[in-house]
Amino acid sequence: MRISDLSRQTGVPTATIKFYLREHLLPPGAMTARNQADYGSEHLRRLRFVRALTTLGQLDLSTVRELLVAVDDPQLSRRGLYEVVHRALFRGEPVASDTEGSERAAGEVDEFIDGLGWQVDASAPGRGTLARVVTALQRLGCELNVDFLVPFAVAAEQLALRELDLHSKEGAALDRGAMVARIVLFEVAFAALRRMAQEHLLVLRLAADA
| Positions in 75-94 near its own copies (CB under 8 A) | 78-79, 82-83, 86, 89-90, 92-94
Contact 113, 87 (CB under 8 A): no
- Assess 49 for contact with its own copies (CB under 8 A): yes
Residue whose CB is less far from its own copies, 23 or 170: 170
- Assess 160 for contact with its own copies (CB under 8 A): yes
- Assess 11 for contact with its own copies (CB under 8 A): yes
- Assess 171 for contact with its own copies (CB under 8 A): no
The stretch among 8-16, 18-26, 27-35, 64-72 that binds its own copies (CB under 8 A) is 8-16
Residue whose CB is less far from its own copies, 111 or 157: 157
- Assess 178 for contact with its own copies (CB under 8 A): yes
Per DSSP, 100 falls in state: S
Q: What are the phi and psi torsion angles at 14 (to 5°)?
A: -55, -40
Instruction: Mark residues 115-154: x for contact with its own copies by CB under 8 A, - for none.
Output: ---xxxx--xxxx-xx-xxx-xx-xxxxxx---xx-xxx-
Residue whose CB is less far from its own copies, 37 or 44: 44
- Assess 48 for contact with its own copies (CB under 8 A): yes
For residue 75, the SS3 value is: coil
Closest CA to 69 of 89, 79, 48, 84: 84
Q: How far is the CB of 68 from its own copies (least distance, A)?
A: 13
Query: What Cα–Cα distance (Å) separates residue 52 from each residue in 2, 24, 99, 186, 188?
Result: 21, 17, 32, 12, 11
Residue whose CB is less far from its own copies, 37 or 124: 124
Contact 109, 127 (CB under 8 A): yes
3-state helix, strand, coil in the chain (%, to 5): 70, 5, 25
